[in-house]
């Protein structure tokens, strides 16, 4: 794969591992680097990157898996739509196993609900076009990478004049929770591995407040092993030197100002709102809601459903894990009550969730 | 959080592209890109091209590493 | 009225059933003359003191996919299950569950593929059964195949026989079947040249056992759950640790591309013409050469080894030199965006 394979070169990776080791020579503390993107979490496990790093460098996972940070109420709403007559729930595969208070979409599907997994929200639009008498509710989750694809799909729905396509909207936006975590006194993050594809949309300049006002080094990096290691190395160098600035290792994709056209779509369809992060709580201006003129596509107001009362599982430490305060192995449910087959917390259910990745690749 | 794959634009019709990687083809919307052209490499996420891949920047990143390797790891990264 | 789709009456046991059997199924699948048809097939001349017996049901969707269909899949699958025990597959039964409305033309194509697969694997289809379920109660066609095989030797390759130092071999690229099926499934709209690897492996196994005998410790076909799940099973059954080497793992570029798009890991994707062989280290290179000289073994590779005798762990040395653990597939792998 062009633009992927080159960045998997073992020779380059080894050189970077050696460089990181050189960079921390004489650094006798421990530095904590947080990746806030679930795909980074996956990549770290998948390539065994932790096993290559010196003891002074600790990697922890932050709240960057959209499935994991989606509140349980949202899953309960999705379940309610799945139970609604003459309704198709269309979703990315990621959401299908997420546990709600008493059920999940896979279970509802088994009981007869019409739940369809799509690769693109445009596929869901096509389903709506083919089934004009059925309401299609698309589960709009994801960060700034994914939100414009839902925004773009709504523009397409408008263009095609469809009146049976709705979005259950729970989009989140990125720098806000990173700043929120920074002000948590219990949590000490020495550097952020900034999300790659979110940054393609919002641009690497979005992290400048983190570096400039909060003094935390930020590096935007890609997902291939060489990208990952280079990103970690750049962070290590900043931490050792006591510097804090935004660097971009992923310049083949990410520009300082991001993708303006995608930002225009976002601004046209959505507006910022306060958002609830599972396990973390409400963070001001960290979510996206449909603008007034697109409210007709808002499933919650256009197709009201009754939703059961939310019940979180006791003992689940997902919230602490999402904040990077504890590791999956420190959760009493991990590998015991909570496994990928029977996930209790959201971090286990999403394949890119910290617990799932630890279970699958951690050993 | 966001899986995306570099693919090459093989065909374009009315804002929709057929994109290809290693013999796999998939339709993707070009709504988020200015002036995408056949032959461009783009990053595909959920059926949308979210950004163009800059070949010069890609080469520049790799060139830094190669220099280090050629120098036997002696040059500081 | 044209006789072109399956009707409920085709399963009634009456005249229509006989017509279906005599005009379509038996002429394609079996050489048994009508006058010789009885309630059970009788297998004669078996002298083996051990017999292998297995069964498997096939419910694949779609029923036609690049590289095969549900028919040859059902034959190859059961042939391979027998072969993995070290047996020589001898005879199969075929249970067809047809959904009302299935096209005769499709059934004919499936049966023809079954016959071709049976011929290729040198097994006979000796008995069978056909039922029809009302429309909506099935999914076009389900097939069950059972098979018996005999042993031409005293060898007992088994999942619990892996030993420290054993090398792990595979006969070719991983994930082809699962991705061929997934890519042709409605809704994902992926176009690719990925072809299922569905194939009979009994000839390859027979050759390995004849040439290397007791040095062949484990034979397993990594079907559902993929190579990762099967190796984990072997590690647990044998009480050993296995370490894979990512750089030697054969994956077709197209399969890797499709997996990258959908967010899947080829290690967990199903195969239908692959086998994992764990052999004593001293014969590993020779076994590799033998496999590469066989049909369906051309792309064979040594992909790992048994490193220890304790944990039941499977690890992988990644291409960049890292170490990661491999677990069993949990639930179905679903296309994802994250």
- Residue A34 pLDDT grade (very low, low, confident, very high; cuts 50, 70, 90): very high
The residue with greater pLDDT, B76 or B39, is: B39
Which residue of chain B is at minimal alpha-carbon distance from C337? B3
Bridge partners (DSSP) listed for residue A220: A194, A248
**What are φ and ψ of residue A336, in 5° steps?**
-100, -85
* Among A140, A187, A137, residue whose Cα is nearest residue A287: A140
Contact call for B22 and C256, based on CB within 8 A: yes
Checking if the pLDDT of C148 tops 70, the result is yes
d(CA C113, CA A205): 60
Kind plus residue range of the DSSP H or E element containing A138? strand A135-140
Please give the angle made by the CA atoms of A7, C261 and B61, to the nearest 5 degrees: 20
Q: What is the tens place of the pLDDT at every residue in A278-298? A: 878 899 999 999 999 999 999
For the cut 90, the answer to whether the pLDDT of residue C138 exceeds it is yes
C325 near B CB under 8 A? no
Partner-chain contact A47 C327, CB within 8 Å: no
Q: Which of A119, A143, A200 sits opposite B43 (nearest CB)?
A: A200
CA-to-CA distance for A119 and C103, rounded, in angstroms?
31
Question: Which has more confidence, A335 or A115?
Answer: A115
> Nearest C-alpha of chain C: how many angstroms from A67?
9
Average pLDDT over residues C165-172: 98
Indicate the residue of A13, A45, A96 with minimum beta-carbon distance to C334.
A96
Provide the pLDDT confidence category of residue C197 given band limits of 50, 70 and 90.
Answer: very high
pLDDT for C33: 60
Measured N-to-C along each axis, helices A225-241 and A38-46 cross at an angle, to the nearest 10 degrees, of: 110
Is the pLDDT reported for residue A317 higher than 70?
A: yes
Mean pLDDT of B28-35: 95
Please write the tens of the pLDDT for every residue from A93-146: 989 988 889 999 999 999 999 999 999 999 999 999 999 999 999 999 999 999
Partner residue opposite A339 with nearest CB, options C265, C330, C335:
C330
- Do B60 and B19 contact (CB within 8 A), yes or no? no
Which chain A residues have a beta carbon less than 8 Å from that of B28?
120
- Angstrom distance (rounded) from CA C150 to CA C159: 19
Mean pLDDT throughout A214-224?
96
| Residue linked to tokens 């208070």 | A101
pLDDT of residue B75: 60
- In 3D space, the residue among C311, C338, C309, C336 whose CA is nearest the CA of residue C326 turns out to be C311
Write out the DSSP string of C102-128.
Answer: -BHHHHHHHHHHHHHHHHHHT-EEEEE
B47 touches chain A (CB under 8 A): yes
Contacts of A329 (CB under 8 A, 6+ apart): A358, A362
Neighbours of C49 (CB within 10 A): 8
- Is the pLDDT at A325 greater than 70, yes or no? yes
Establish if C334 touches chain B: CB-CB under 8 angstroms.
no
- The B residues from 18 to 77 touching C (CB cutoff 8 Å) are 21-27, 44-46
Confirm if A205 and A149 have CB atoms less than 8 A apart.
no
Which two three-digit tokens encode residue A42? 């996956």
Residue C92 has pLDDT above 60, yes or no: yes
DSSP C282: G
From C82, C178, C165, C180, select the one nearest C122 (Cα to Cα): C82
Return the sign of the alpha-carbon dihedral for residues A61, A64, A65, A70: positive
Provide, rounded to the nearest whole percent, the portion of chain C with pLDDT above 90. 82
Mean pLDDT over the full length of chain A: 93
- Which residues contact residue C60 at a Cβ distance below 8 angstroms, ignoring those fewer than 6 apart? C70, C73, C181
Inter-chain touch A67–C338, beta carbons under 8 Å: yes
Hey, of B24, B25, B27, B46, which one would you mutate to test binding to chain C, going by the most C CBs within 10 A of its CB?
Answer: B24
pLDDT digits (tens, 9 = 90+) for B39-75: 999 999 999 999 999 999 999 888 888 877 777 666 6
Q: Is the Cβ pair C324, A52 closer than 8 Å?
A: no
pTM of the model: 0.93
Range scoring the smallest mean pLDDT among A127-131, A293-297, C189-193, C234-238:
C189-193
Interchain proximity A92–C336, CB inside 8 Å: yes
Cβ within 8 Å, pair A65-C338: yes
Contacting C residues, span 218-247, partner chain A, CB-CB under 8 Å: 247
Question: Strand ranges (DSSP E) for C141-237?
Answer: 141-150, 167-170, 191-192, 216-220
Residue B28 gets which letter from DSSP? E
Mutation pick from B1, B22, B41, B47 vs chain C, by most beta carbons of C within 10 Å, is B22
C109 vs A341, C28, C32, C103, CA distance in Å? 38, 10, 20, 10
- DSSP output for A223-245: SSHHHHHHHHHHHHHHHHHT---
How far is it, in rounded angstroms, from Cα C216 to Cα A72?
Answer: 51
Contact A226 B22 (CB under 8 A): no
């Amino acid at each position: 794969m062009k633009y992927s394979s080159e960045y998997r070169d073992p020779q380059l990776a080894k050189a970077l591992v050696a460089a990181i080791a050189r960079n921390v020579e004489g650094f006798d503390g421990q530095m904590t680097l947080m990746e806030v993107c679930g795909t980074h979490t996956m990549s770290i496990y998948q390539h065994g990157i932790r096993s290559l790093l010196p003891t002074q460098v600790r990697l922890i996972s932050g709240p960057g898996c959209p499935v994991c940070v989606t509140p349980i109420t949202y899953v309960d709403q999705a379940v309610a739509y799945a139970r609604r007559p003459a309704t198709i729930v269309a979703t990315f595969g990621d959401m299908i196993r997420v546990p709600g208070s008493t059920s999940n979409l896979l279970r509802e599907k088994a009981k007869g609900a019409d739940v369809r997994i799509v690769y693109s929200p445009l596929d869901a639009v096509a389903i709506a076009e083919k089934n004009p008498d059925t309401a299609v509710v698309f589960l709009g989750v994801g960060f700034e990478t994914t939100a414009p694809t839902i925004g773009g799909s709504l523009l397409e729905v408008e263009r095609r004049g469809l009146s049976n396509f709705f979005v259950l909207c729970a989009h989140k936006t990125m720098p806000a929770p990173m700043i929120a975590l920074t002000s948590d006194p219990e949590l000490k993050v020495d550097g952020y591995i900034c999300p790659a594809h979110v940054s393609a949309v919002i641009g690497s300049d979005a992290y400048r407040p983190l570096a400039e006002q909060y003094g935390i080094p930020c590096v935007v990096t890609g997902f291939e092993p060489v990208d990952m290691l280079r990103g970690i190395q750049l962070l290590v160098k900043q931490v050792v030197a006591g510097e804090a600035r935004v660097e971009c290792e992923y310049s083949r994709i990410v520009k300082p100002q991001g993708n303006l056209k995608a930002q225009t779509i976002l601004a046209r369809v959505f507006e910022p709102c306060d958002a609830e992060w599972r396990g973390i709580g409400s963070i001001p201006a960290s979510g996206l809601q449909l603008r007034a003129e697109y409210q007709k596509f808002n499933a919650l107001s256009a197709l009201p459903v009754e939703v059961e009362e939310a019940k979180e599982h006791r003992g689940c430490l997902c919230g602490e894990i999402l904040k990077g305060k504890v590791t999956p192995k420190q959760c009493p449910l991990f590998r015991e009550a909570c496994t990928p087959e029977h996930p209790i917390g959201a971090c286990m259910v999403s394949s890119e969730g910290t617990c799932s990745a630890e279970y699958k690749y951690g050993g | 959080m966001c899986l995306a794959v570099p693919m090459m634009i093989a065909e374009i019709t009315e804002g929709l592209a057929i994109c290809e990687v290693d013999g796999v083809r998939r339709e993707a919307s070009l709504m988020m890109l200015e002036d995408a052209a056949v032959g461009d490499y783009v990053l595909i996420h959920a059926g949308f091209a979210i950004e163009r891949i800059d070949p010069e920047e890609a080469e520049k990143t790799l060139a830094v590493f190669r220099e280090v390797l050629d120098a036997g790891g002696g040059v500081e990264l | 009225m044209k006789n072109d789709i399956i009707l409920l009456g085709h399963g009634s046991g009456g005249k229509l059933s006989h017509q279906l059997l005599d005009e379509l199924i038996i002429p394609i699948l079996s050489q048994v003359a009508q006058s010789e048809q009885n309630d059970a097939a009788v297998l004669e001349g078996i002298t083996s003191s051990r017999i292998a017996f297995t069964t498997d049901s096939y419910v694949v969707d779609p029923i036609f996919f690049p590289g095969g269909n549900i028919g040859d899949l059902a034959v190859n699958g059961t042939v391979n299950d027998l072969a993995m025990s070290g047996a020589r597959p001898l005879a199969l039964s075929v249970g067809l569950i047809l959904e009302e409305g299935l096209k005769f033309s499709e059934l004919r194509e499936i049966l023809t593929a079954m016959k071709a697969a049976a011929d290729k694997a040198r097994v006979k289809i000796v008995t069978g059964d056909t039922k029809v379920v009302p429309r909506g109660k099935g999914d076009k066609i389900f097939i069950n195949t059972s098979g018996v095989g005999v042993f031409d030797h005293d060898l007992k390759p088994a999942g619990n026989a892996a030993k420290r130092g054993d090398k792990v071999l595979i006969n070719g690229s991983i994930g082809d079947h699962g991705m061929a099926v997934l890519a042709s499934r409605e809704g994902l709209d992926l176009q690719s040249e990925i072809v299922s690897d569905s194939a009979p492996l009994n000839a390859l196994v027979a050759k390995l056992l004849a040439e290397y005998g007791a040095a062949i410790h484990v034979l397993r076909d990594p079907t559902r759950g993929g190579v990762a799940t099967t190796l984990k099973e072997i590690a647990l059954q044998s009480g050993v640790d296995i370490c894979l080497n990512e750089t030697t793992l054969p994956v077709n570029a197209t399969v890797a591309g499709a997996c990258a798009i959908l967010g899947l890991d080829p290690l967990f994707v199903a195969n239908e013409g692959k086998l994992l062989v764990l052999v004593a280290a001293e014969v590993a290179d020779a076994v590799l050469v033998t496999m590469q000289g066989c049909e369906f073994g051309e792309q064979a590779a040594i992909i790992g080894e048994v490193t220890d005798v304790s944990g039941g762990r499977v690890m992988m040395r990644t291409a960049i030199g890292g170490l990661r653990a491999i677990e069993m597939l949990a639930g179905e792998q679903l296309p994802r965006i994250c």
